[in-house]
Amino acid sequence: MLLLLASVLCLVGFSGACSCYPRHPQWQYCAAGYVVVGTTTDFYFPGYNPDNPNEGEKVFTLEIENQYKGPQFPNKQNFTTAPHEALCGTHLINNTKYLLTGRVNVDGSATVYLCDWHSPWSNLTPEQQRGIEEGIYQNNCGCDVCTVGGGSPCGERSCPYDYTIGRCFYLHSYCKEQCLPNDAESCQCNWDSNEAFDRCISTP
């Protein structure tokens, strides 16, 4: 279900603009079909038609340094996106180290769109990098980061996330399972506090 939701995060309206529903990084990680970190080496436009810019696609080649989720990719993997941002295509800068998440198709090809979590690695906070590298996001995928106002109530094993006031949660916090010793029935999902999060919350 999460993967299906991730695949429809990008909505193209009649105006031709792409609109992304705001999601917490942990939700994006858990919903993704793959999670990789690597450096962009090339891009090209198969099927490009100068008379119709909506045709064709854009393909990026990534030299993968680490893969955290998904089927094993080769050292160099192509990632496909729409030809431009109005169709939810994304733009990656060449020779830059990126975090990429997205969907794996039935034929094994991989896609990344504007609404998928992707970012230059250097732009991520230390907490986001640890969430990926140390498996904090992966190990807590049983907890749902429930976006408030998403149309359905949050379940029991969830952390409410209000993106309008949730900057510190987005940048520094994890939704983690917490249990009493030897009591599986006591397990609950709660936002995790850390020094960076506390500093952020206390800063006006």
What is the extent of the structural domain holding 67? Answer: 2-202
What per-residue confidence (pLDDT) applies to 6? Answer: 41
In CATH, what number is assigned to the domain containing residue 69?
2.40.50.120
**Going by C-beta distance under 8 Å and a sequence separation of 6 or more, which residues neighbour residue 198?**
none
Cα–Cα distance for residue pair 145/21, rounded to 1 Å: 14
| Residue among 170, 184, 163, 197 nearest 26 (CA) | 170
What per-residue confidence (pLDDT) applies to 54? Answer: 77
pLDDT tens for each residue of 104-117? 999 999 999 999 99
Position 172 pLDDT exceeds 90? yes
Domain count, the chain: 1
- Over residues 194-204, mean pLDDT: 90
Position 9 pLDDT exceeds 60? no
